[in-house]
């Protein structure tokens, strides 16, 4: 099987996680951000992630892929309880984290930006949504302090480093991608339980953090 992704994309991280958690082999391919032809030929629209199954058929939508793979052997891993407080926390920080993350993704050495045209395509589209990247980068300090404060609130919700609620659940599939994304931001203060959880989940899922690209 093959998984087509953008390396920065949190939805793609969700799809990648289930393969790592179940220790299943998967060929991961980064599509160029301005490549519309490939995804359209596979699923009829420009989206990622896309799972290409062994029989050649293709499946979009991150959570559909997660559920499909998790149940493919009839031994699902994501059986644990969810916590509404985790969902509420993610919703709260989503109001501002794009201003921290998107400008840094746009200048990172990621596969989806292997050409100047692909990087420019991403930058133009995302700046139209959130405003000038350089302006956001110059005013990051306040948001870095804010996310550091919000991470202290999250720290109280983390029960175990191998599963945020003590047993693997859909909350892990939603939470880790954001923490992985935040690893590209320099200066964020991670409280101990959040950092232990983030680092452990990176190992469990076999997904690299972005600390080497942090700015």
Per-residue pLDDT tens over the stretch 160-175: 999 999 999 999 999 9
**Within 13 A of 123's CA, how many CA atoms are on the CB side?**
16
CA distance 101 to 126: 11
Predicted confidence at residue 109, as pLDDT, reads: 98
Predicted confidence at residue 120, as pLDDT, reads: 98
Give me the residues of the chain with pLDDT under 50, please: none
Domains defined for the chain, CATH in brackets: 2-71 (3.40.30.10), 84-213 (1.20.1050.10)
- How does pLDDT run across 17-39, given as a tens digit for each residue? 999 999 999 999 999 999 999 99
Closest CA to 5 of 38, 117, 168, 106: 38
CA distance 189 to 41: 43
- Would the pTM count as exceeding 0.85? yes
CB 33 within 8 A of CB 123: no
Predicted confidence at residue 96, as pLDDT, reads: 97
């Amino acid at each position: 099987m093959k998984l087509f992704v953008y390396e920065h994309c949190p939805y793609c991280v969700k799809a990648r996680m289930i393969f790592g958690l179940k220790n299943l082999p998967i060929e991961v391919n980064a599509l160029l951000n301005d490549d519309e032809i490939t995804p359209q030929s596979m699923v009829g629209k420009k989206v990622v992630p896309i799972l290409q199954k062994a029989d050649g058929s293709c499946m979009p939508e991150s959570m559909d892929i997660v559920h499909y793979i998790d149940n493919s052997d009839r031994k699902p891993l994501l059986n644990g309880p969810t916590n509404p407080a985790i969902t509420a926390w993610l919703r709260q920080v989503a109001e501002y984290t794009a201003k921290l993350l998107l400008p840094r993704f746009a200048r990172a050495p990621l596969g989806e930006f292997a050409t100047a045209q692909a990087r420019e395509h991403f930058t133009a589209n995302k700046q139209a949504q959130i405003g000038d990247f350089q302006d956001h980068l110059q005013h990051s300090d306040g948001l870095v302090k804010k996310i550091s404060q919000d991470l202290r609130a999250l720290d109280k919700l983390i029960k175990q480093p191998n599963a945020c609620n003590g047993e693997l659940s859909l909350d892990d599939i939603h939470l880790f991608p954001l923490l992985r994304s935040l690893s590209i931001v320099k200066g964020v203060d991670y409280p101990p339980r959040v950092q232990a959880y983030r680092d452990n989940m990176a190992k469990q899922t076999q997904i690299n953090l972005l600390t080497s690209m942090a700015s």
